Amino acid sequence: MALRASGLAPYQAALDALTDQSRKRSLAPRVGLDFTSNDYLGLAACARLKAAVTSALARGTPVGAGGSRLLRGNAPEHEALEAKAAAFFRAERTLFFGSGYFANYAVLSTLPQRDDLVVLDALVHASAHEGARAGRAQFTCAAHNDPAAFEKAIQDFRGSGARGRVWMAVESLYSMDGDRAPLDELIALADRHDAMLFIDEAHATGVYGMDGRGLAAELEGRENVLTLHTCGKALGGAGALVAGPRVLCEFLINRCRPFIYSTAPSPLMAAAALEALDILKEEPERRRRLAHLVGAASRAARARGAAHPSGSQILPVIVGEDGRALALATALRERGFDVRAVRPPTVPEGTARLRISVTLNVDEAAIDALFGALAELLAP
């Protein structure tokens, strides 16, 4: 027993160090009003998604897939979703994965080849960084939302004599800052250098673009563009769709180890996503209501001096010090507002923050009350 305890000591020491730095994570229950989820359109508990899943169960859809898509796990619901999503997003093909993290990792660890270069926006999701790290291509980071930094990375790569393809990986709407990628400049760069542009639309899908097709909607269907649309945020369920050229999706089916060797996502989640795509087209008022609430949150934040509005449904309140961010989040939860602190390494050093998320799960009065409470807590 003593030997076992000593073997675990390094792990406990690491946890103690995180506690000392105010960076130890722990699981906390949902409390109060939702200002932290990504359920932007309020679909996660909506009647139509519940009915779609109930109907799928009634007609015999299994809860679990029972195996890999290449074995018996390929359910009719998976194929129906991929066909419908391809038409909805106007892509040649889509491929359904179990999560956005999984899809990002799968794409960037599989498609870029040994002689290629992956250029990651410095603030792109951790899953993209991990996928690039696990793949065979070289990878580097470019300064956030700086097309010139991307171009310099490409020029340096070409200047070294490399002839492989360049892949640029960005988020269309960044999850921690709520700002948008300069997609027009990035696609021009991709065209100029015969590069691929991989766009994670996780926080834009369902919220922006015609019918909620995302911020990159006008780029879908191009040979040098691949997009990722998560089903677990505005679409209210779970999973993710990679959309792009048919040949790349077929390559993933044949060469992507995370896809080949994983049990397929639940067919029930495919059924939910199918219904969510219909909701996006048939209930545009959800996007209009969300846009109204985002405007109300921006006005309240500005009037109270509590945050600098990002222009999106994600409003970061950067407080800098890790312990202070934790204390503010705790105080807000005690007042009935579910707000969470985000600390390094999820965000850059010195930028610990509250990540306030605006969803249809709250109303304008709740938003005003939140920023009033926050202003009180931030007052000197």
Catalytic residues: 38, 125, 171, 175, 200, 203, 233
Q: What are φ and ψ of residue 189, in 5° steps?
A: -65, -45
Q: Are 243 and 227 in contact (CB under 8 A)?
A: yes
Quick check: helix, strand or coil at residue 255? helix
The DSSP code sequence of 168-180 is EEEESB-TTT-PB
Cis peptide before 10 (omega within 30 of 0): no
- Other beta carbons within 10 angstroms of residue 351's beta carbon come to 17
Q: Are 230 and 236 in contact (CB under 8 A)?
A: no
Cβ-Cβ contacts under 8 Å for 30 (sequence gap 6 or more): 338
Q: How many CA atoms lie within 13 A of 182 on its CB side?
A: 14
Rounded to an integer, what distance in angstroms lies between the CA atom of residue 110 and that of residue 7? 36
- Other beta carbons within 10 angstroms of residue 156's beta carbon come to 12
Q: Are 368 and 62 in contact (CB under 8 A)?
A: no
Rounded to an integer, what distance in angstroms lies between the CA atom of residue 74 and that of residue 55? 19
Instruction: Give me the numbers of helices (H) and strands (E) for the chain, helices first please.
Output: 13, 12
Rounded to an integer, what distance in angstroms lies between the CA atom of residue 97 and that of residue 103? 6
